[in-house]
Chain A
Amino acid sequence: MSIELISIHKSYDHQIILKDFSLTLPDKGIVCLQGPSGSGKTTLLRLLAGLDAPDSGEIKGLPVSKAGAHGPKIAMVFQEDRLLPSFSARRNIAIVSKEADPDRLMERLGILDAADKPVHALSGGMQRRVALARAMAYGADIYLLDEPFKGLDPATKKRVMDQFKPLGERALVIVVTHDAAEANYLGGTTIELAGPPLHRK
C-alpha cells in the first residue's frame, strides 16, 4: 500500500513549516527530498516516522504519531548519529536485529577495523557509517535518511551510496539531501521543497 500525505499542515512555535502539503509516495524505490534549510525536509521525515503528528491533514499507509507501532518497519538515520556512545560499533548494529550480520555490513561500509571500539572514540565519518550500517541491519520496509552522507569524504561517500542504491529495489528509501550531485547519483525521483509556505513543485 503506498503512502499518501493529504493536506498536511505543520507549524512549530508559530512558524509554519508545511502548509497544505500533499504527496504520494511509491511502494518502493529511491525518493530524494531536496530544498533549502528550513523548508521542512526533516519535519516531513519526522511525520512519516511517527515521531510528530501533523496539526491537520491525513497520512495514509502509516501509523500517525505512533513511532515504533505495528506496521511497516522504518529504519531511520537522523541528522545526529544517535548511537549508543558507550557501546562498540558492532553492538550498536547488532542490537537492532538478531539476524543481521554486523561484520559483513561493517566491511561493506569500510569500518570493520573499528568494530570493537566504543563509538564515542570514532571519528565523525565513522560514526555516520555505523548509523548507516545500523539502518541497513534493521531489515526495514521504509528507510528515512536525513542527510545520511554528510561528513563523508568523496571516495567514502561514493562507496556508501553504492551500498544504498540497491535497497531501492525492495524498499522505499527517502533521502533528504542538500547536495544535487548526491541526488543525481542516487537516481530515483526527486522532490523539491520550496521555502515556507510549502508545496510540491
Chain B
Amino acid sequence: MTRSTTSDKNDAQLHQNPHNGPGKSKASPGFPMAALGQKLLVFAFWIGLWAAAGMAVGQELLIPGPGIVFSRLLALLGTKPFYFSIFASMGRIMLGFLLAVVAGTLLSVLTATIPFFKHLFSPLIGMIKATPVASFIILALVWLSSEGVVTFVAFLMVLPLVWGNLSQGIRATDRQLLEMSRMFRFSRWKVVRYVYIPSVMPHFVSAVTTGIGFAWKSGIAAEVLGTPKGSVGQALYNAKIYLETPDLFAWTLVVIILSLIIERGVLWFIHWTAARL
C-alpha cells in the first residue's frame, strides 16, 4: 500500500531537522519550516491552555475563552475610534519617550563633563528612580491635563534609565584609546565620533529598548488612571467598569502587540541611523 502524499508533507513539517548531517547540533533547525512549525506548536499549546482554563472556570466574566476575545478584537478592528485611540496613545507616549531620550542624552554629557552638575542632578534622578509610577500619575493629575500626564509619566520613567546607561557608557570608554587619540591629535569631534560614540552605542541601544517598554507600560497605566478621551487606557478602564471582560482581554492583546511593534520599530531605526553615521 502506498502512503498518501499529504501525510508525507506533514511528516516533513513535524520532523525537526531533516537536513542535518552527523555532528550538527540538534538545537539548530536546519530548515525554516521546522522553526515555523515549532513556533506554531508553542502558540497552539498556550491558546489551548487558555481555552481549557476558560472552559474550566466557566464564567465569561472571569476568563473569556480565546474564541470570544478574538471575535471582539475583530469587531474592534472594524471601528474608527479604535484606530484613533491607538494613534493618540502611541503619540502621547512616544513624545514622552523621545523627550526623555534627548534630555537623558544631554544630561549625561553635561554631568560627565562638569562635576558640579553631576552632584546637582544625581540625587534628583535617584529620587525619580525610587518613586513608584502610581505616585507620579496621581500627583501629575493634580497639575496637568490627563493627556499631559501620559507624556509626563513616560518621560519620567525613561529619563533616569537613559541618563544612567549613557553615563555608564561614557565612564566605560577605554582610557587607552583616549590617550592614543591625544597622541595623534584627534580633533574634539573626531574623539567623540570615533572613540566615545562607538563605546556608548551599546549602552544607548540597551537603554532605548528597555525604555520603550517602560514608557509604554507606564503610559498606559497613566491613561487608565487619568482616562483621557480617546485613549487605549480609557478603553481598558471602560471595559473594566462595564464588566466587559472579553473587551478587556482584547484591548490588552492590542497593548502587547503594539508594544512589540514599537520595540522592533525603534531597534530598526537605531540600526538604520547607525549605518549612516
Interface residues of B (CB under 8 A from A): 176-177, 179-180, 182-186, 190, 194-195, 198
Q: Enumerate 14 A-B pairs (CB-CB under 8 Å) in ascending A order.
A: A51-B182, A51-B183, A67-B179, A68-B183, A74-B183, A80-B176, A82-B176, A82-B177, A84-B177, A84-B195, A87-B194, A95-B186, A134-B184, A138-B184
Q: Does A49 contact B (CB under 8 A)?
A: yes
Q: Report the separation of the CA atoms of residues A170 and B185 in the bound assembly, to the nearest whole angstrom.
A: 21
A78 at the A/B interface (Cβ < 8 Å)?
Answer: yes
CA distance A89 to B52 in the complex (A): 60
Q: A56 at the A/B interface (Cβ < 8 Å)?
A: no
**Main secondary structure on A side of the interface with B:** loop
B183 touches A67 (CB 8 A): yes
Contact check, A67 vs B194: say whether CB atoms are below 8 A apart. no
Q: When the two chains form their complex, are residues A96 and B184 in contact, meaning their CB atoms are under 8 A apart?
A: yes
**Which secondary structure dominates chain B's binding surface?**
helix
Given contacts A84-B194, A87-B194, A95-B190, contact A78 B176 (CB under 8 A): yes
A136 — which chain B residues lie within 8 A by C-beta?
none
Residues of chain A lying within 8 A (CB to CB) of residue B179? 51, 67, 78, 82
How many whole Å from A91's CB to the nearest CB in chain B? 9
Asked whether, in the complex, the Cβ of A82 is within 8 Å of the Cβ of B182, the reply is no
Contact across chains for A84 and B184 when beta carbons are under 8 A apart:
no
Residues of chain A contacted by B185 (CB below 8 angstroms): 68, 73
B183 touches A95 (CB 8 A): no
| 5 shortest interchain CB distances as A-B pairs | A82-B180, A68-B182, A67-B182, A76-B183, A96-B184
Contact partner of B198 (CB less than 8 A), chosen from A49, A73, A78, A84, is A84
Q: Which residues of B contact A85 (CB under 8 A)?
A: 198
Answer whether residue A86 sits at the interface, using C-beta atoms and an 8 A cutoff. yes
A10-40 contact mask (Cβ, 8 Å, vs B): 1 or 0:
0000000000000000000000000000000
Residues from chain B with Cβ under 8 Å of A96 in the complex: 184
Contacts of A95 in B (CB 8 A): 184, 186, 190, 194
Bound Cα distance from A85 to B185, whole angstroms: 19
From A84, which residue of chain B is reached at the shortest CB distance? B194
The CB with the most chain A CB atoms within 10 A, among B182, B183, B190, B194, is that of B183
Nearest A residue to B201 by beta-carbon distance? Answer: A86
Residues of B near A67 (CB, < 8 A) are: 179, 182-183
Nearest chain A CB to B78 CB, angstrom units = 48
By a CB distance below 8 angstroms, the chain A residues around B194 are 84, 87, 95
Residue of A nearest to B179 (CB): A51
Q: How far is the CA of A87 from the CA of B180 in the complex (A)?
A: 15
User: Within the complex, what minimum Cβ distance (angstroms) separates A20 from chain B?
Assistant: 27
Among A80, A82, A85, the one with the most B-chain Cβ atoms within 10 Å of its Cβ is A82
Q: Which residue of A lies closest to B183 (CB)?
A: A76
A49 / chain B contacts, CB cutoff of 8 Å: 183
A31 to B81 alpha-carbon distance, docked (Å): 80
